[in-house]
Homo-oligomer: A and B are copies of this chain.
Amino acid sequence: MRRFIDLADCSREQVRALLALARALEHEPQPTALAGKVLGLLFMNPSLRTLASFQAAMARLGGSSFVISPGSGSWQLEQRSGIVMDGAAAEHVREGLPVLASYCDALGIRQFAEGKDLDADLADARFLAMAALVDKPLINLESAATHPCQALADWKTLDELEVAQHGKLVLAWAYHPRALPLAVPAAVLQMAALRGMQVTVLRPEGFALPGAIMQKARDAAAHTGGHVRETADRHEALADADVLYVKEWASTACYGDAAADAAARESHRDWCVSEQWFEGARRDCRLMHCLPVRRNVAIREELLDGSRAIVRRQAYNRLPVQMAVLYRLLKQTSEARA
């Protein structure tokens, strides 16, 4: 494996092998496996889990990492092509990225969606332009289009809780005061479809996931016995659900139009998940979220503190799955490539 950019680049068997490696590393530490290896982490956007868990993952394998945060300790990086750089950015990614890559054995990049042009964000234009400048193993720490480390951690979590391979997962939109990106819903949908699950995307009108995201997941489901559908009917969606995966995202009907988006979201402030949502679901239906989550805005706090919530387990699982990704990318022995 040379790059970990999109879960859709992996077959179900490859994902299963990665998860088996994650479990192995979880139970049998290898504190010198990556001795002398260096992971570079470039954060164009803030982070808590990704920032902490990748540094911890390298450390547990005996390696090291450095963090670059343009605008905070390092200058801003320009990404636009052909521009006369007389503004705030002191350096262009065409210089900065190959240089950072030359200092490390693998590079991780976080670059959220611009939120202006839906097609550009779906095509992951900025992330892939940056990826093209890197000649080292590369990890997507969340791009405009997807968040594969989150998806991998979620899959491991579903396995641990023995959610059936063909179980029913509802990916539900929730309210948020800002227009959030589509990366996580896209990644979760892809993950669940690739796992073989019956997936229902539950969202109000104007918040349907783009056709390209839905079709990509359907293509995966076609090979795994999964199924992907969507609805705006909460009751119908939750019937017999095994898992409710909550996520906030921007309006796709008026993507990039800040005022219209705010108005569209405002009218759905009642999409704050409460216990009532679970009527009709399976009794032990789980609540998932990638975090961070705004309590009593996206999800009621009693749910987050209750037994349905497995959000902390999801977050913890970022650590072992990323150890597995790093091990695959950086460990040179034949044993590792087995």
Main secondary structure of the interface of A (DSSP, over half): mixed
What residues on B are CB-neighbors of A85 within 8 Å? 294-297
Q: Are B66 and A52 in contact (CB under 8 A)?
A: yes
Scoring A residues 64 to 100 as 1 if CB is less than 8 Å from chain B, else 0, what string do you get? Answer: 1111111011110010001111100011101110111
**Chain A residues with a Cβ under 8 A of chain B:** 29, 31-32, 35-36, 38, 40, 43, 46-49, 51-53, 55-56, 58-60, 62-70, 72-75, 78, 82-86, 90-92, 94-96, 98-100, 102-104, 177, 291-297, 301, 304-305, 311-312, 315-316, 318-319
- Which residue among A62, A72, A99, A301 has the maximum number of chain B CB atoms within 10 Å of its CB? A99
A83-B296, A84-B295 are known; give 4 further A-B pairs, CB within 8 A.
A36-B62, A38-B59, A48-B74, A51-B74
What residues on B are CB-neighbors of A67 within 8 Å? 73
Q: Are B73 and A64 in contact (CB under 8 A)?
A: no
Contact flag A56-B96 (CB < 8 Å), given A64-B64, A84-B297: no
Which 4 A-B pairs give the minimum distances between C-beta atoms? A31-B36, A91-B292, A59-B64, A85-B294
- Which residue among A52, A55, A72, A296 has the maximum number of chain B CB atoms within 10 Å of its CB? A52
Q: Which residue of B lies closest to A49 (CB)?
A: B99
A59 to B95, CA, bound (A): 23
Q: Which residue of B lies closest to A291 (CB)?
A: B95
Q: Which of B59, B65, B103 contacts A53 (CB 8 A)?
A: B103
What residues on B are CB-neighbors of A46 within 8 Å? 73-75
